[in-house]
Amino acid sequence: MSSILSKRMAHIKPSPTLAVTKKAASMAAQGAHVISLGAGEPDFPTPDSVKEAGIDAIRSDMTRYTAVAGTAELKEAIRHKFKRDNNLTYTDDEVIVGVGGKQVLYNAFMATLDVGDEVIIPAPYWVSYPDMVKLAGGTPVIVSCGEEQGFKLSPAMVRQAMTERTKWLVLNSPGNPSGAVYSRQELQALANVLKDAPHVWVMSDDMYEHIVYASDVFATMASVDPAMKPRVLTVNGVSKAYSMTGWRIGFAGGDRHVIGAMAKIQSQSTSNPCSISQHAAAQALLGEQHFLVERNERFRERRDYVVNFLNDVEGLSCRMPEGAFYVFVCCRPLLGKGGIKSDIDFADYILSEEKVALVAGTAFGCEGYFRVSYATSLELLQEACRRIKRACERLRKA
Ligand code: PLP
């Protein structure tokens, strides 16, 4: 019998980070004491004022369809946020709200890519970019950015990767999984290369904007170089900063034709994002922001613990990430021992032997590494690190 599935499905894989989380959850359901460091979500609760706004939205009957691209209230809050945090001015028709940053990015690719169009994606990358590009018919062009260059793209690498078919360069800072943060100067240097290539646009994924460990380090392409702003899509959301992963609200600012095309896709697929979540997200963006600093202090304590501990384990090494809540750890010296051939084997081994869920670097386009998400309590991180150390000691002796 011929398959009902479309040809495009042959090239798409399910999100590996969600797969690890699912496997860890099923082991836990069978009684194993699994520590899951696989998922990319903060363990903090959604702030109370935001929860209240969600409850208010239900009580006051904000429960109907809204405008497809987002309510006037939330779009106004987003424009305010872009001005306040990034010094970026967008008009109402230059802003769209989607079902998480994920839908916003997906719709942007769907709205702009034709078969054969290329998208430059620096590796290690967030797992979904290449598959989204493929779903939209485009061709991901993966550029490996090694640890020796801080997991960051250089201007020379961009110049080399660009062709006449390049439509987008994806930039994600702070980066998932590397935690690397591009400085203003580094972004300006990339912008200088792009000045000679007006057909290349920048997809700036700023999802971890607020999770940075030095003050004033966050920079985003559209505000670093105003000449680039017309061809930058600035994508952000409330999932990570405001611990609202389940509310599913992301947004973008950019060229109104691109935004309009994204809204058209949304109008024929999901319609508006959840009305209740939109009201809550407006509260998150407009409300008191100081708790972000307090939460970052907690993240910093966890980051320092994990990085220092793992750097003391023979066979493992990692650089100090400047943002996000991930550590990207090199395990190459341990490969080849005890039948462990790859980072995928390594992550499987740690999960089955020590019940710690990690994501293999291969999922992010970077072999020989694994990602630790430290968005969980210090106690659990301490226990997980001890277990990882024990497994590595066993492997070294194998
Ligand atoms: N971009 C990056 C770099 C991410 O890590 C994530 C989530 O893990 C997203 C986008 C999507 O975020 P959301 O949960 O808002 O869809």
Answer whether 144's CB lies under 8 Å from 136's CB: no
Q: What separation in Å is there between the alpha carbon of 280 and the centre of ligand 1? A: 18
By most ligand atoms within 8 Å of CB, the mutation choice from 18, 41, 102, 220 for ligand 1 is: 102
Cα 97 to Cα 163: distance, rounded to the nearest angstrom: 31
Please, what's the b/e burial string for 85-95 (b: 16 or more CB within 10 A of its CB; e: otherwise)? bbebebeeebb
Pairing of strands 326-330, 317-318: antiparallel
Query: Confidence class of residue 10 from pLDDT cuts 50, 70 and 90?
Result: confident
Query: Confidence class of residue 21 from pLDDT cuts 50, 70 and 90?
Result: confident
333: left (phi over 0), alpha (psi -120 to 50) or beta: alpha
Q: Look at residue 215 and tell me whether its pLDDT is greater than 80.
A: no
The dihedrals phi and psi of 3, each to the nearest 5 degrees, come to -80, 140
| Cα 279 to the center of its chain, rounded Å | 23
Question: Quick one: which H or E segment has residue 168?
Answer: strand 166-172
By most ligand atoms within 8 Å of CB, the mutation choice from 178, 239, 325 for ligand 1 is: 239
Answer whether 38's CB lies under 8 Å from 242's CB: no
Query: Confidence class of residue 207 from pLDDT cuts 50, 70 and 90?
Result: very high
Handedness of CA 35, 101, 103, 147 (dihedral sign): negative
Query: Confidence class of residue 398 from pLDDT cuts 50, 70 and 90?
Result: confident
Q: What separation in Å is there between the alpha carbon of 207 and the centre of ligand 1? A: 6
Cα 344 to Cα 336: distance, rounded to the nearest angstrom: 12
Query: Confidence class of residue 18 from pLDDT cuts 50, 70 and 90?
Result: confident
Average pLDDT over residues 96-116: 98
Answer whether 126's CB lies under 8 Å from 205's CB: yes
Checking 156-161 for CB contacts under 8 A at 24+ apart, the result is: 157/122, 158/120, 158/190, 158/193, 158/194, 159/193, 161/120
Average pLDDT over residues 198-213: 97
pLDDT at 126: 97
> Pocket residues for ligand 1 (CB within 6 Å)?
40, 100-102, 126, 172, 176, 205, 207, 237, 239, 245, 250
Taking residue 219's Cβ as centre, other Cβ atoms within 10 Å add up to 20
Ordered alpha helix ranges (H), 136-181: 155-161
Cα 98 to Cα 393: distance, rounded to the nearest angstrom: 46
pLDDT at 28: 87
Torsion of CA 316, 131, 79, 74, to 10 degrees: -110
pLDDT at 217: 85
pLDDT at 22: 81
Query: Confidence class of residue 226 from pLDDT cuts 50, 70 and 90?
Result: very high
Q: Look at residue 212 and tell me whether its pLDDT is greater than 90.
A: yes
Cα 160 to Cα 154: distance, rounded to the nearest angstrom: 10
Q: What separation in Å is there between the alpha carbon of 375 and the centre of ligand 1? A: 14
Query: Confidence class of residue 8 from pLDDT cuts 50, 70 and 90?
Result: confident
Q: Look at residue 181 and tell me whether its pLDDT is greater than 80.
A: yes
Answer whether 201's CB lies under 8 Å from 168's CB: yes
Return mean pLDDT, the chain. Answer: 95
pLDDT in tens, 308-332: 999 999 999 999 999 999 999 999 9
What does each C-alpha distance from 275 to 33, 56, 119 come to in angstroms?
38, 12, 33
pLDDT at 394: 93
Write down the pTM of the prediction.
0.96
Residues in the chain: 398
Pairing of strands 139-144, 118-123: parallel
For ligand 1, atom 5, name the residue with the nearest CA: 176
Q: Look at residue 26 and tell me whether its pLDDT is greater than 90.
A: no
